[in-house]
């Protein structure tokens, strides 16, 4: 496969693993513990497990899985609000498939659908827009979820709905941003992080400069990475090289895709449609300043929070997580998924307790799918 096979070349991967081992040994001589490198993005977590990089990498490097799975960091209260909107008469609630099985306090969207709510999976907010055009008399609500990767497509859909004068389309906006939770993790005195692998898809939109504070203010290296095995190995080597040389900088391993200053069309749409919420609740991380987006007043006609009088602005925020669930600790890299007492017992992909076992980018799902399969085969 062109543009993929060359990044899965076993000879190149072995050479990178050897270079990482040499570099880690050199650093390890002065260290009593492995170098902790957090991959922020859930897509990277899955690549690491899919290609067995967690086992192949030198023992002096430890991957710490970060909070970059948008479904996983969604607090239960927001799922409850989705269900509440979806169960209103006349509503067609649309969402990406990943969010369907995320447990809420009462039920998931899938359970609400089986109870009669009109909930549809879509691949894009444009599908929801088309549904609104074809369904006059019904209110079509799109669940706007995700980091800067999906934020522009929701913004463009709202702009298009405004141009067409649609009155039955709205967005339940739960879009969030990446740099703020990284700052929260760096401010956590319990976190031991030596460097970061930066998200590839998010950075296509925002570029590399929003991460400058990581190197400048915290003295930690960050390398924006692609998703193939040699992308990730090269990025680890770049982080280790910075550490070995006593440097901290933002570097871009994924330059074939990520422009330094991001995508100007997407950034303009984001700036036009959204503004920052003062703070937003993250599962496992609590409230983080300026980490969530809401729809600007000029697009209030397309804001489901306004239309339904529901959501973050109403002040109903937190509901407690399920007892015994360690999602927060796993999401902040403090525990490995297998260290959660529920892993494989009370929580499996068929009967999930937490979103990390459901989402295609969740760390628990990655362990279950790849590490679990290995253990079974062993
Ligand atoms: S195993 Fe389940 S309950 Fe435990 S951290 Fe993972 S998703 Fe949460």
Tell me the CA–centroid distance for residue 322 and ligand 1, in Å.
Answer: 10
| Strand residues in the chain grouped as ranges (E) | 35-41, 61-68, 91-95, 119-121, 139-146, 169-175, 195-198, 222-224, 250-252, 274-276, 279-282, 286-289, 293-295
Integer Cα distance of 122 and 99 in angstroms: 11
| In-domain check, residue 292 | yes
Is residue 19 one of the residues assigned to a domain? no
Distance CA 164, CA 133 (A): 10
Residue 231 CA to residue 13 CA, distance in Å, equals: 9
Mean of the pLDDT values across residues 301-306? 96
Residues with CB under 6 Å of ligand 1 are 325-327, 330, 337, 340, 342-343, 347, 353-354, 356-357, 364
Which stretch of 85-89, 99-103, 251-255, 272-276 has the lowest confidence by average pLDDT?
Answer: 99-103
Which is higher by pLDDT, 356 or 161?
Answer: 161
Least confident of 3-7, 54-58, 67-71, 193-197: 3-7
pLDDT at 7 over 90: no
**91 touches 143 (CB < 8 A):** no
**Is it the case that residue 376 has pLDDT exceeding 50?**
no
Distance between Cα 226 and ligand 1 center (Å): 27
pLDDT > 70 fraction of the chain, expressed in percent and rounded: 94
CA 112 to chain centre: 24
* Res 377: pLDDT: 45
Q: What is the pLDDT of residue 315?
A: 58
Q: Report the mean per-residue pLDDT for the chain.
A: 91
The predicted-structure confidence for 220-266, as pLDDT tens digits, reads as follows 999 999 999 999 999 999 999 999 999 999 999 999 999 999 999 99
**337 alpha carbon – ligand 1 mean position (Å):** 7
Provide the 3-class DSSP secondary structure of residue 139. Answer: strand
- pLDDT tens for each residue of 91-132: 999 999 989 988 888 899 999 999 999 999 999 999 999 999
Ligand 1 center to residue 330 CA distance, Å? 8
Closest CA to 233 of 4, 3, 19, 49: 19
Q: Determine, yes or no, domain membership for 346.
A: no
CATH number for the domain including 128? 3.40.50.11740
The answer to whether 177 and 148 have CB atoms below 8 angstroms apart is yes
| 115 lies in some domain | yes
Residue 24 lies in a domain: no
* Ligand 1 atom with least separation from CA of 347: 2
Report, in angstroms and rounded to the nearest whole number, the Rg of the chain calculated over CA atoms. 21
Q: Is the pLDDT of residue 208 over 90?
A: yes
* Distance (Å) from CA 210 to ligand 1 centroid: 31
| Ligand 1 atom with minimal separation from the 344 CA | 1
- Residue 190 alpha carbon to ligand 1 centre in Å: 20
User: Looking at the 3D structure of the chain, how many domains does it have?
Assistant: 1
pLDDT at 61: 95
Which three-class secondary structure state does DSSP give residue 319?
coil
- Please tell me the residue having the least CA distance from ligand 1 atom 6: 364
pLDDT of residue 313: 63
Q: Which residues pair with 303 in a beta bridge?
A: 171
Tell me which residue range forms the domain holding 289.
76-178+261-314
Task: Give me the pLDDT at residue 354, please.
Answer: 84
Q: Kindly state whether residue 16 falls inside one of the protein's structural domains.
A: no
Cβ burial, residue 80 (10 Å; 0-12/13-18/19+):
middle
Average pLDDT over residues 303-313: 87
What is the band of 373 on the pLDDT scale with cuts at 50, 70, 90?
A: low
- Ranking 25-34, 154-163, 190-199, 223-232 by mean pLDDT, the lowest is 25-34
Whether residue 36 is predicted with pLDDT greater than 50 in this model: the reply is yes
* Residue 347 located in a structural domain: no
Minimum CA distance residue for ligand 1 atom 7 = 354
Count CB neighbours of 49 within 10 A.
Answer: 24
Top mutation candidate among 321, 354, 355, 369 for ligand 1, by most atoms within 8 Å of CB: 354
Write out pLDDT tens, residues 142-188. 999 999 999 999 999 999 999 999 999 999 999 999 999 999 999 99
DSSP conformation letters of 233-256:
HHHHHHHHHHHHTT---EEETTTT
pLDDT tens digit string along 310-320? 877 665 556 66
Domain membership flag for residue 351: no
Give the separation between CA 211 and CA 106, rounded to whole angstroms. Answer: 38
The structure's pTM equals: 0.91
Q: 357 CA distance to ligand 1 centroid (A)?
A: 6
**Rounded-to-integer distance, Cα 63 and Cα 194, Å:** 11
């Amino acid at each position: 496969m062109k543009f993929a096979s060359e990044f899965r070349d076993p000879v190149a991967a072995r050479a990178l693993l050897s270079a990482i081992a040499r570099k880690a040994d050199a650093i390890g001589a002065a260290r009593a513990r492995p170098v902790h490198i957090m991959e922020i993005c859930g897509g990277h977590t899955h690549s690491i497990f899919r290609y067995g990089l967690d086992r192949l990498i030198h023992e002096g490097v430890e991957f710490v899985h970060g909070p970059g799975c948008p479904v996983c960091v969604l607090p239960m209260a927001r799922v409850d609000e989705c269900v509440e909107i979806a169960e209103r008469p006349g509503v067609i609630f649309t969402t990406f498939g990943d969010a369907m099985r995320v447990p809420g306090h009462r039920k998931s969207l899938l359970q609400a659908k089986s109870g009669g709510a009109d909930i549809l999976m879509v691949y894009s907010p444009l599908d929801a827009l088309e549904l609104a055009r074809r369904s006059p008399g019904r209110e079509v609500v799109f669940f706007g979820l995700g980091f800067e990767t999906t934020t522009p497509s929701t913004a463009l859909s709202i702009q298009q709905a405004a141009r067409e004068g649609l009155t039955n389309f709205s967005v339940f906006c739960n879009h969030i941003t990446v740099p703020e939770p990284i700052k929260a993790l760096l401010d956590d005195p319990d976190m031991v992080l030596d460097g970061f692998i930066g998200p590839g898809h998010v950075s296509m939109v925002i570029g590399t400069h929003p991460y400058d504070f990581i190197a400048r203010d915290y003295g930690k290296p960050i390398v924006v990475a692609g998703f193939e095995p040699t992308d990730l190995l090269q990025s680890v080597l770049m982080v280790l090289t910075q550490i070995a040389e006593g440097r901290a900088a933002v570097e871009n391993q994924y330059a074939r895709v990520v422009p330094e200053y991001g995508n100007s069309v997407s950034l303009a749409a984001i700036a036009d449609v959204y503004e920052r919420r003062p703070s937003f609740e993250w599962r496992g991380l609590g409230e983080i300043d300026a980490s969530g987006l809401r729809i600007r007043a000029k697009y209030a006609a397309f804001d489901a929070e306004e239309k339904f009088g529901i959501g973050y602005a109403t002040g109903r925020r937190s509901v407690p997580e399920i007892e015994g669930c360690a999602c927060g600790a796993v999401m902040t890299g403090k525990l490995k998924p297998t260290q959660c007492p529920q892993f494989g017992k009370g929580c499996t992909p068929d009967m999930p307790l937490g979103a990390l076992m459901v989402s295609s980018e969740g760390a628990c799902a990655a362990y279950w799918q790849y590490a679990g399969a290995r253990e079974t085969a062993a």
